[in-house]
A and B are shown apart, each in its own frame.
Chain A
Amino acid sequence: MLAAAVGLGMTWLTISRGVAFGSMTVGAWTARPKTGSVDIDPYARASIARTGELPLGTGDGVAFYARTDDAGYVLDGRCTFAISGTTPTARYWTLTLYDRNGRLVANTLDRHGFTSTEIVRDAEGRFTISVAPRARPGNWLPTGGIERYVLVWRLYDTPVGVASRTSKQDPMPAVTRKACS
């Protein structure tokens, strides 16, 4: 009985929370490039089978997930978070905000993310995205005021995760908490 409980409990925990096998963490962002190939680990396989997700294939792109900011604060839709800096080399990238189950979040603008083409940059090519419940000037990504959300940064046609394993060469944008209402 105890054995069954321990075993099933561990399975449930690892699959719903995810384990960091072969993962690549840069600041708040974590990617598991192997998930998009035949080298996918059994935990990730079990996890995608359960959620019904189709992972981004290696050769297509790499997806980075963030659930907290750089300081470890959980991404809360009632607070304002700023995302700024530079991105690793990629032909295109997209940033999308999901709830914890991978669904888009309803908002008045019907905006769920940005692409690298849409973003407004300053003279030096840097950008800042405000992830906030209420409208902001510039690049505003609405949270819909939900309690917890997940940000997914997808890099398309990129050498990240394929060529380099050193995270130092791949700077990811910083995520910082600004204010909570």
Chain B
Amino acid sequence: MIRALLWILGAVVLGGIVHLATVLAMPRAANQDAYSRLEPVTPANSVVPLTPPTAEASVMPFMDPAFAAAVCRYDLANGIVKLNAPLSQAYTSVTFYTRNSVAYYAIDDRAAGRRAIELDLMTPEQHSQVPEGEDVTAADRLIIESPTRTGLIVLRALAPEPGLMPMARRALANAQCRLGPVQ
């Protein structure tokens, strides 16, 4: 009797371990995550507009159809990424995701305060190579550190009404994401 109970207890404990291990391993093992879906359709370090979601097809699930969206799939192996996103008339936001879809930074048009969202994206190692005082003197240079070498920058512009969708798309079409020197 006790023996059987011990077996069951052992199984449950082992089950718990298997459960935790699989949950933690999932982000690494997933081959259908956002980055993997976008990798074949987007060149690295350039802004690519995302096809708006329809009932038939959607690049990713749960995309907001009221927004025009564009993505810059970045790779910081050969330099830093300079992002320039002009603001649309309504609401514009830029969100940074790691390789495993963790949103580590997001900024909207109001927080950016100017006519464009301008950012320099780099790894912590590259940031340490930026000369001392450089980021203080150039106040317009907002520096973001990416926890991973690769990842996604998603630009979103709201079309408050369906008729304003072309306006939102145009604003995103002027966005730039390019590789720059570390300095």
Contact = CB atoms under 8 A, between A and B. Distances in A.
Interface in A120-141: none
Interface of B: 8, 10-19, 21-24, 26-27, 29-30, 32-34, 36-37, 53-56, 58, 60-67, 90-91, 93, 95-97, 100-108, 110-111, 147, 152, 154, 156, 158-161
A117 B103 contact: no
Interface string A151-167: 01010110000000000
Contact of A52 (B61, B64, B91, B96): B61
Interface string A1-41: 01111111111001100000000000000000001111010
A117 B152 contact: no
A94 B66 contact: yes
A147 to B, nearest CB: 15
A55 B110 contact: no
B64 A94 contact: yes
Interface of A: 2-11, 14-15, 35-38, 40, 42-43, 45-46, 48-61, 63, 91-92, 94, 96, 98, 101-107, 112-113, 115-118, 144, 152, 154, 156-157
Contacts of B156: 60
Contacts of B63: 102
Given A45-B26, A156-B91, A157-B110, A113 B102 contact: no
A11 B19 contact: yes
B60 A52 contact: yes
Contact of A101 (B14, B15, B34, B61): B61
B103 A3 contact: no
A105 B111 CA distance: 34
Contact of B62 (A14, A46, A98): A98
A45 B102 contact: yes
Interface centre among B12, B95, B104 (most CB of A within 10 A): B95
Contact of B16 (A2, A7, A58): A7
A91 B110 contact: yes
Contact of A3 (B15, B64, B65): B15
B97 to A, nearest CB: 6
Given A4-B18, A59-B95, A94-B64, 15 more contacts: A4-B14, A7-B15, A10-B16, A11-B19, A51-B61, A55-B101, A58-B106, A60-B107, A92-B91, A94-B67, A94-B158, A102-B61, A103-B61, A117-B160, A157-B91
Contacts of B34: 48, 52-54
B103 A55 contact: yes
